[in-house]
Amino acid sequence: MKKLSDKAKGIICILLAAFGFSLMTFFVRISGDLPTMQKVFFRNAVAAIIAFNILMKTPDKFKMKKGSLPFLLMRCIFGTSGMICNFWAIDRLGIADANMLNKLSPFFAIVMSIFILKEKPNKFEIGTVIVAFIGALFIIKPSAGLGSIPALVGLYGGFGAGAAYTFVRLLGQRGERTPLIVMWFSAFSSIVCIPFLIFGYQPMSPKQWLFLVLAGCGAALGQMGITTAYTYAPAKEISVYDYTQVVFAALLGMIFLNEVPDIYSVVGYIIIIGTAVFKWRYTLDTTKQ
């Protein structure tokens, strides 16, 4: 690793992150017929504990910047609702489809930045959003009637994540610490799930416990990998590699779950990933000018 360039290290880390998140999706799926809120709780409780321990070792501990509370709450609300919808969709869609819809979050972030950060997108960015949504329609397949409801819920999962990332960016601009943002989100989402656990907890077999623990480990690998990746290289240079998560998820689905995406979903993947790659190249080229 020492002989590699920072960009190469960043790419390796983001590939590991993509694999970690695809494993999280896979283990959430095979954990079986458990309530969605139960899965969300175990996914986030681990992250909350880790972030809590990190903050306890810092001088400022849980101190936040003045005026950050409303933005932290909005990050928690959008992030939690998006994750719940994503997990619900994972159980009802192919895991590749669920991952792809969630990967629309960067395009939703462009839209939400207009309202939250007062950033005006240029014509190129508006065009990429439109094309990405056309790709999403191939995955959602509106003509499927009620069958498209899980896809629409998964689409909101991408929207929630995109809105949440926009608030994370706003908090970062205000100088808020990453562990504090992670702890707030993880603790908030865990607390939201507690009433559902009290009244609807479903006993789990040792295998289900194992799968949810492994889902948490996959999520931890994803979070650590993507955080480390962006310390080595800027997002504009390496973010496109995050879309390999869809490839990993599709392979896991085909090998272990006998899930083969239909031709419409494949077309949707090509449109969305192609748009992301084109946007990535455009951003690099315009930066160099």
| Per-residue confidence (pLDDT) for residue 80, from 0 to 100 | 94
Mean pLDDT in residue range 12-41: 91
pLDDT over 60 (residue 37) = yes
| Per-residue confidence (pLDDT) for residue 236, from 0 to 100 | 65
Token pair for 208: 């289900």
49: Cβ contacts below 8 Å, ≥ 6 apart: none
| Per-residue confidence (pLDDT) for residue 153, from 0 to 100 | 93
* 194-213 as b/e: b if 16+ CB within 10 A: eebeeeeeeebeeebeebbe
pLDDT over 70 (residue 287) = no
What is the pLDDT confidence band of residue 83, given thresholds at 50, 70 and 90? very high
| Per-residue confidence (pLDDT) for residue 190, from 0 to 100 | 92
pLDDT over 70 (residue 145) = no
Q: Is the dihedral of CA 279, 281, 282, 288 positive or negative?
A: positive
Mean pLDDT in residue range 74-79: 94
| Per-residue confidence (pLDDT) for residue 166, from 0 to 100 | 85
pLDDT single digits (tens) 207-224? 999 998 888 888 888 877
| Per-residue confidence (pLDDT) for residue 193, from 0 to 100 | 94
Contact (Cβ atoms closer than 8 angstroms) between residue 82 and residue 157 = yes
Mean pLDDT in residue range 178-185: 85
| Per-residue confidence (pLDDT) for residue 143, from 0 to 100 | 64
Indicate the average pLDDT of the chain: 86
Token pair for 73: 């709450």
pLDDT over 80 (residue 204) = yes
280: Cβ contacts below 8 Å, ≥ 6 apart: 236, 239, 240
Low-confidence winner among 123-132, 228-237, 249-258 (lowest mean pLDDT) = 228-237
| Per-residue confidence (pLDDT) for residue 35, from 0 to 100 | 93
Select the more confidently predicted residue: 191 or 284. Answer: 191
pLDDT over 90 (residue 126) = no
Mean pLDDT in residue range 37-53: 86
pLDDT over 80 (residue 65) = yes
pLDDT over 60 (residue 241) = yes
Q: Is the dihedral of CA 83, 279, 243, 94 positive or negative?
A: positive
| Per-residue confidence (pLDDT) for residue 146, from 0 to 100 | 56
Select the more confidently predicted residue: 8 or 206. Answer: 206
Low-confidence winner among 71-75, 203-207, 215-219, 237-241 (lowest mean pLDDT) = 237-241
